[in-house]
Amino acid sequence: MKKIIDLADLLKHETLSLFSAEEQIIDGLPKMLAQVQDAQLKDALNNRLAVGKEHLQSLEAIKKALGETSEPEGTGFFSSLFGGSNAVTAVGIEGLFREANRLMQEEMTPQAMDAAIIGTAQKITHYQIAAYGTAGAYAAELKLTDVAVAIQNALSDEHVTDHALTQLAIGSINLTAENAVDNETTEDTNEDGYDRLTDSVSIMSSSADSRDDNS
Question: What mean pLDDT value characterizes the chain?
Answer: 85
Residues 132 and 212 in one domain: no
Residues 31 and 60 in one domain: yes
Residues 113 and 214 in one domain: no
Residues 176 and 191 in one domain: no
Q: Is residue 17 part of a domain?
A: yes
Q: Is residue 1 part of a domain?
A: no
Do residues 90 and 20 touch, judged by C-beta distance below 8 A? yes
Q: CB-based contacts of 212: which residues, under 8 Å, 6+ apart?
A: none
In which band, very low, low, confident or very high, does the pLDDT at 5 lie, cut at 50, 70 and 90? very high
- pLDDT (0 to 100) of residue 1: 53
CATH number at residue 15: 1.20.1260.10
In which band, very low, low, confident or very high, does the pLDDT at 214 lie, cut at 50, 70 and 90? low
* Distance in angstroms (rounded) separating the CA atoms of residues 136 and 174: 33
List the domain range (segments joined by +) for residue 14: 7-180
Q: Is residue 26 part of a domain?
A: yes
Q: Is residue 80 part of a domain?
A: yes
* Distance in angstroms (rounded) separating the CA atoms of residues 189 and 129: 46
Q: Is residue 117 part of a domain?
A: yes
The more confident residue out of 87 and 13 is 13
Residues 149 and 193 in one domain: no
Residues 162 and 189 in one domain: no
What tens digit of pLDDT does each residue of 132-152 get?
A: 999 999 999 999 999 999 999
Residues 172 and 197 in one domain: no
Q: Is residue 129 part of a domain?
A: yes
Residues 108 and 176 in one domain: yes
User: Helix 145-168 to helix 39-65 angle, to the nearest 10 degrees?
Assistant: 170
Residues 106 and 208 in one domain: no
Number of domains in the chain: 2
Residues 43 and 133 in one domain: yes
User: Considering the entire predicted model, what is its pTM?
Assistant: 0.78
Residues 124 and 66 in one domain: yes
Q: Flag the least confident range among 41-45, 85-89, 203-207.
A: 203-207
- pLDDT (0 to 100) of residue 82: 43
Q: Is residue 112 part of a domain?
A: yes
Closest C-alpha to 14, from 125, 139, 142, 120: 139
- pLDDT (0 to 100) of residue 70: 39
Q: Is residue 199 part of a domain?
A: yes
The more confident residue out of 210 and 128 is 128
Residues 170 and 211 in one domain: no
